[in-house]
Chains A and B, each alone.
Chain A
Amino acid sequence: GQQVMQIPQYQHVQEGEDFTTYCNSSTTLSNIQWYKQRPGGHPVFLIQLVKSGEVKKQKRLTFQFGEAKKNSSLHITATQTTDVGTYFCAADNYGQNFVFGPGTRLSVLP
């Protein structure tokens, strides 16, 4: 079946440093979504990417969808303590299934 991997599993950064998490699928995707889950909270939708090579920005967050639509990345510039949480990618396999990656847990040291 479809597999979705995320790396790294954990990332500890000093406040102000940049952070990137990568999401890789074993199959070509119709779209990919990114969610953030704070400790003790529930996933919150961040963005959806649909087109090959698509890049979207939200303030300090930059999302990218790979040309082959099998991978994606989330980059945070100049992290803040409010960025703490687990970032999940969720892969849509053309409506067949919806698979969340295992997540990257980000901690930011002040």
Chain B
Amino acid sequence: ETGVTQSPTHLIKTRGQQVTLRCSSQSGHNTVSWYQQALGQGPQFIFQYYREEENGRGNFPPRFSGLQFPNYSSELNVNALELDDSALYLCASSRGYGGGMSRNEQFFGPGTRLTVL
């Protein structure tokens, strides 16, 4: 196991609602990245947080937002849920050194399966 935990494991929401997903990073890691993985596809990078600041973002709208806390755990918030937001949401922790996105190996959590009805 990687030591990265995510909660909840499963979640069902309806269109238009808001959701918060949580991630605890591996001990010693200061960087958390979030990914969306639709069924049968590769993970799509949402954003990365390093020391409580967003330091990289993929092609996702502003209704996807995040936070990182002083203990390096993180939250992903999605507002105004759409049907296409149904997916597995993965967080991955790594060691970062600032000056841009962390390029080190990433340790993934088990994911949160979000279903939007």
Sort chain A's interface into a size bin.
20 to 34
The B interface, classified by DSSP as helix, strand, loop or mixed, is loop
Given contacts A44-B108, A97-B56, A98-B56, contact A88 B103 (CB under 8 A): no
Tell me the residues in window 75-117 of chain B with beta carbons closer than 8 Å to chain A beta carbons: 90, 92, 100-101, 103-111
Judge whether A98 and B101 touch: CB under 8 Å.
Answer: yes
Q: Say which residue of A33, A42, A96 sits within 8 Å of B109 (CB atoms).
A: A42
Judge whether A43 and B33 touch: CB under 8 Å.
Answer: no
Judge whether B90 and A43 touch: CB under 8 Å.
Answer: yes
Q: Say if the beta carbon of A85 comes within 8 Å of chain B.
A: no
Q: Say if the beta carbon of A30 comes within 8 Å of chain B.
A: yes
Judge whether B103 and A45 touch: CB under 8 Å.
Answer: no
Q: Say if the beta carbon of B3 comes within 8 Å of chain A.
A: no
